[in-house]
Structure 1
Amino acid sequence: MSAGAGDRGDDVLDWLGPKLHALRFEKLREEDAAAPDSTVQFLFRMADAVPSLRGRLDEHFHENRRRPSAHSFVGEIALEAPGLVASGRADLVRPLLDFLEAEYGADADVDNVIAVSFVEMLPNRGDRGAEIESLLGPKLRAELERQRSWPDPPEPTE
């Protein structure tokens, strides 16, 4: 098996000394502790509900030391889903949308992942893949409309 990016980083830290290695270990422990368990369980449920994502999730877990980032994983999917819909493959996206709709509203941390890393990443009306909006259930559609109702930030002044 070839060395992954994390393995090469460990080699560099070993070369630099035990203090930097200990600092890295402590930082990784802090990051691992920061991820809410509910979001990790959400990803497991997602893999059960959308089996086509299971392999990607396994890879994500491996790359992230068995403690995934729900935001980054869902964000990657959010960038791909509209393109699938635009290319006529909405059937591949439907199970994901149904799952997210069912999950939304049950847990604040999971809601944050869905709202910030999926709904907020959806294309604007008129953009490629915007037809994904027509496939959203009522809870996700309401969240999208809520986000779209936010006022635009003021223009910067010089």
Structure 2
Amino acid sequence: MTDTGPWTGSAWWGHLVRAVPLAGEVAESEVRAGLDAGLEQELMTEGFVMELVSAELMARVRADDQAARDAMLALGAELEAGPPVVGEDVISAYLIHVPSPGERGGDLADALGPRVRAALDQDRDHRNEPAVAGFLDRLLQAVPGLRPLADAERYGYHDEVLAHPFLGDVAEREVALLTDGASLEIDDDWTEEERSAVLRLFTSADPDPAAEVRAVLDLLEGELGADAAVDDLIATAFVEMLPDEDEPGTEIVGMLGAGLRAELDAQRRQPR
């Protein structure tokens, strides 16, 4: 079994890295880097490590690394042939970075066996509920500055916006607009490209950035009560992400309408 320090994985994982040695090497490197960066050992599940491996291998595939391509194909074959104890989380973690058919590198998807390909199709044949889709359209029409965030969260065969991640990003952006970016957790060791990408998505050159905050809050307030799925989305993806009293950007709480504030108060009355 590959030596990854405190994390070793199951007997099945040991078989996997013997069958696909490059996957084992990548896993060891990624796990060590994660632990060195302060990630807790409990996070090092097989699914989490598989996603790290898939992400790194696909980065190499896009750089025309044939060994990485062979390893991705071999991983897919192992998951196809694997015993039933191979969890859905492991298969999903492998697939999340595999291009869809028709995209660059999509021939990797075409090479998948029926079991793993069915999982890919089920995951990517995603459609938002009509009420949620309508809500997202209205939000983007009301606040066009959110479109880059929405585009960053598009996924699947139908290029749908992933509603929960997107609205969570919206909450982070609106807080960042009120704090001039101080609420963003930008690490000192980020590259300039990474830093620029975050600032592009979560800040604005508008001379009155609070105007966008008010527009978002007004839209969300007006949407409450019309549809249960939309209410749940707003509550869990936006309201729950708002800062606590000791965090930057808490002034957004004072800008909430009655419905949003009632939801926030209800959440904070619950024991954590």
TM-score by length of 2: 0.48
Pick which of 75-84 and 38-47 moved more: 75-84
Which residue of 103, 108, 133 corresponds with 2:223? 103
SS in 1 for 2:245: coil
Correspondence 1:6-25 to 2 at 5 A: 6=100, 7-8=103-104, 10-17=106-113, 20-25=116-121
What corresponds to 1:28 in structure 2? 124
| Percent of paired sites with the same residue | 40
| Change over 3 Å in CA distance of 1:39–1:9 after alignment to 2 | farther
Relative contact order, CA 8 A, sep 6+: which one is greater?
1
Q: CA deviation at 1:58?
A: 4.5
Q: Does 1:122 align with 2:242?
A: yes
Letter in 2 for 1:54: R
Counterpart residue identity of residue 220, structure 2: L
Displacement of 1:17: 4.6
Rg larger in structure: 2
Q: Matches of 1:149 and 1:23 in 2, distance apart?
A: 39
How many angstroms apart in 2 are the aligned matches of 1:140 and 1:39?
A: 18
Who is 2:256 aligned against? 136
Q: How far apart are residue 59 of structure 1 and its match?
A: 5.1
- Which amino acid letter does the alignment assign opposite residue 169 of structure 2? E
The offset of 1:48, in angstroms, is: 1.2
Residue 75 of structure 1 contacts residue 121 of structure 1 at CA under 8 Å; is this kept in 2?
yes
Structure 1 equivalent of residue 83 of structure 2? none
The alignment covers a number of residue pairs equal to 146
Q: Tell me the C-alpha RMSD between the 2 structures.
A: 2.4
Distance between the aligned counterparts of 2:244 and 2:121, measured in 1?
41
- Correspondence for 2:133: 40
Q: What is the SS of the residue equivalent to 1:118? A: helix
Could you say which structure has the higher helix fraction? 1
Contact 1:94/1:135 (<8 A) preserved: yes
Partner of 2:177: 84
> Is the CA contact (8 Å cut-off) linking 1:86 and 1:131 kept in structure 2?
no
CA contact (8 A) 2:171 2:242 kept: yes
State the match for 1:155 in structure 2: none
Give 1:74 deviation, angstroms: 0.3
Q: Deviations over 1:22-68 (max 9, x none)?
A: 44224433xx25x322111110011111121234434544x443322
The letter for the 2-side match of 1:136 is L
Distance 1:127 1:19 in 2: 46
Which SS does the other structure have where 2:106 is aligned?
Answer: helix
